[in-house]
């Protein structure tokens, strides 16, 4: 099971030029194929005067969904090299669209491959890369009188405390990576004299830190 992956924090743009042709790359985080295609269409609308809007995207924690488009460029000269850069950077849940304004000089197959790849690399260099981790939400019931002490002790040991709910007892909501679940159980047992019981909830993706 994939427990972490890399993506970008926000949308960024970068531009390169090759023999007077301009290549504007927009790299953006997305969570679905529909979102990715919407980014491409937005670029097409915003830059209606450009000849090509080539694209590539990678989706899913396992990066198993990949799509690319040459949008009228010779086959294999735009979408594929763009996708290769995203793969090489280890990014997923991202889309990149490169808008090209033709400069009047044909670049040839090799020139196009280099230009589209360079545009995506420039956008990746400009982006803030972040890690997302799979976390398990677990809850721990303690007496009200013990809640502050237990919470402080858990935080001091690096445990993420998402919050505390107060009812008949205090319920601490904790986030832990799956491979740290057993260590957390041992810590809780130590802090509660063996009385504390962790109850597993749903897992979710969160940015590291």
Domains of the chain by residue range: 4-127, 133-207
**Cα 209 to Cα 96, 127, 130, distances in angstroms:** 26, 18, 10
Look at the domain 133-207 and name its fold: Alpha-Beta Plaits (3.30.70)
Q: Is 64 exposed, middle or buried (0-12, 13-18, 19+ CB in 10 A)?
A: exposed
- Predicted confidence at residue 128, as pLDDT, reads 96
Quote the CATH superfamily of domain 4-127: Impact, N-terminal domain (3.30.230.30)
Q: Can you tell me the distance from the alpha carbon of 116 to that of 82, in angstroms, rounded to the nearest whole number?
A: 6
pLDDT tens per residue, the chain (209 residues)? 789 999 999 999 999 999 999 999 999 999 999 999 999 999 999 999 999 999 999 999 999 999 999 999 999 999 999 999 999 999 999 999 999 999 888 899 999 999 999 999 999 999 999 999 999 999 999 999 999 999 999 999 999 999 999 999 999 999 999 989 999 999 999 999 999 999 999 999 998 64
pTM score, whole prediction:
0.83
Residue 33 neighbours by CB distance under 10 Å:
13
Nearest to 128 by CA among 30, 9, 26, 14: 9
């Amino acid at each position: 099971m994939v427990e972490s992956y890399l993506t970008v924090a926000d949308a960024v743009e970068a531009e390169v030029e090759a023999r007077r042709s301009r290549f504007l790359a927009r790299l953006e985080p997305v969570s679905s194929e529909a979102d990715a295609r919407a980014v491409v269409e937005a670029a097409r609308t915003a830059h209606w005067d450009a000849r090509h809007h080539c694209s590539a995207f990678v989706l899913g924690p396992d990066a198993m969904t990949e799509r690319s488009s040459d949008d009228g460029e010779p086959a294999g000269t735009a979408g594929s090299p763009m996708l290769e850069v995203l793969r090489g950077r280890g990014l997923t849940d991202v889309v990149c669209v490169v808008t090209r304004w033709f400069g009047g000089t044909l670049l040839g197959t090799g020139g196009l491959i280099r230009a589209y790849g360079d545009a995506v690399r420039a956008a990746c260099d400009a982006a803030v890369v972040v890690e997302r981790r799979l976390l398990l939400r677990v809850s721990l019931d303690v007496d009200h009188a013990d809640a502050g002490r237990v919470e402080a002790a858990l935080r001091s040991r690096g445990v993420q405390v998402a919050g505390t709910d107060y009812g008949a007892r205090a319920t601490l909501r904790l986030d832990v990576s799956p491979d740290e679940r057993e260590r957390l159980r041992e810590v809780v047992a130590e802090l509660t004299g063996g009385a504390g019981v962790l109850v597993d909830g749903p897992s979710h993706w969160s940015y590291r830190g």
